[in-house]
Amino acid sequence: MCFAEPKPTDLQTLIRSEYANALVAIDMPPTNTRTPIRRPRLWDLDDKHHCPIIGTCLAMDELLRIARRFHFAAPLNDEFALHVEAVGLCRRRNPASEAIQRHLDRKYQTWLDRLGKLKTDTELRQGWRDSMARGDVAGPLWALCTHRAASAATLQQAYADIHMLSHQVGAGQAADARRLMHLEKENLELKSGLKRELAALRRQLAAAEAGLAEQENLRTETATLQKRLQRFESGQVIVEMGQRLMELQSSHDKLVAASGRVWELERNLKDIREDTTRIAAERDAALGERDALEQLLRAMEPAGCDKPGSDDCAGCEHALSERCILYVGGRASLLAQYRQLAGRLGITLIHHDGGQQESLSRLPELIRGADAVVCPTDHISHNAYYHVKAHCKRVGKPCLFYKGGGVSGFAVAMARLGRGEYSLAGSETDN
């Protein structure tokens, strides 16, 4: 929200007017129109308070920055003219007065918080008097004038104090003198307290010395205490405590390192146990697969034939012997075992990896050259699956789809193919 501020055409006229208003404000009686609804803003205050607030709470370098920012009409080298123009602008809400309000709130936030805790006008007046006694004026003045509980009488008192203070020569020296006096008073109080403590210590020492004359055991105890005190004063105890602390820190580091090694060993042991369990499971699976494979091979041998392949076996139904089988997909690591098993059955095995490295364009030629096609559905891509199925259906080639890419699964597929469990249309058959 912006407020247009008219530029004066005659700067000297404006300065005389503002100065006259400031002089008249000195004799104005206090008013009681303040209502404690919210915290007053700068433009809500009586006109007579603007002059002391700008002159006391706003430093000249800060006023120069505001004047440059809002393009004051007064010359920047005329401090009085800048002061008068700022006072005039603060009587109404405008960008300049809002900027001054925000700047003073930030600058004196500590005093705003401190006096904000005071709820009554009596407390505010006493707080103002204490601040005046210490020589702190600017912050308490801003916090007091913008406090919702400050009465007109209290504001008038603050105005009168600032007005009289402004007439004193060397106001800064007076504030320093008050501050020095306050510090000297605190110094005297500290010295008095120290003297009282020293006197108490001397009385305790005198009582201890008097007790030494009466009882020898107390003398020994006092000597021990004095030695301990000397060790404390010389710093020997601190050194010993530091050494002990270093030893404890070193022990702690060793324990942490040992704990880390134990944790690492536990993790390695866990990994070894997991590897052992996995190896045992793989061994059991391999043994089971070998047993199942041997059973399948025995089941696939022609019944009642002791000499397979001889002239006496001419009547045996050995359907797979001397046939060419195309195997699409599967596990590349088991290809040698696939071929070994096929060789034991008298089968010529042709393999295609299902499009992983070999082109799918070779499948039609391989399918036409094979007697049958087998394909593990869980180890083949969707694209290769549909290629195999479509070409087998097109050329009427026997095709067996099954699940299980291991050696035992391959053996079961060979057995099923030998028994004629396949589809000329290339439909899928599961284990």
135-157: burial string, b at 16+ Cβ within 10 Å, e else: bbbbbbbbbbbbbebbbeebbbb
* Lowest-confidence segment of 47-56, 334-343, 422-431 by average pLDDT: 422-431
Which segment, 5-9, 163-167, 365-369, 410-414, is predicted with the most confidence on average? 365-369
Distance, in Å, from the CA atom of 22 to the CA atom of 16, rounded to the nearest integer, reads 10
User: What is the full DSSP assignment across 144-169?
Assistant: HHT-TT--HHHHHHHHHHHHHHHTST
Report pLDDT for 103: 93
Helix, coil or strand: residue 326: strand
Q: β-strands 347-352, 372-376: how paired?
A: unpaired
What average pLDDT does the segment 209-215 reach? 81
At residue 13, does pLDDT exceed 70? Answer: no
Tell me the pLDDT tens digit for each residue of 266-321: 888 888 988 888 888 767 766 665 665 666 656 555 443 444 444 443 333 345 55
Q: Which CATH architecture has domain 318-418?
A: 3-Layer(aba) Sandwich (3.40)
What average pLDDT does the segment 233-242 reach? 81
Average per-residue pLDDT for the chain: 79
Q: Where are the domains of the chain?
A: 11-167, 179-229, 318-418
Tell me the pLDDT tens digit for each residue of 138-173: 889 998 898 888 888 988 988 888 888 777 634 555
Q: Residue 81: pLDDT band by 50, 70, 90 thresholds? A: very high
What average pLDDT does the segment 338-363 reach? 86
Report pLDDT for 65: 93
Distance, in Å, from the CA atom of 127 to the CA atom of 164, rounded to the nearest integer, reads 19
Residue at 430: amino acid letter: D
* Lowest-confidence segment of 8-12, 114-118, 154-158 by average pLDDT: 8-12
At residue 25, does pLDDT exceed 60? Answer: no
* 0.85 exceeded by pTM: no
Helix, strand, coil percent values for the chain (each to nearest 5): 70, 5, 25
Q: Higher confidence at residue 362 or residue 418?
A: 362
Q: Is the alpha carbon torsion for 72, 73, 76, 80 positive or negative? A: negative
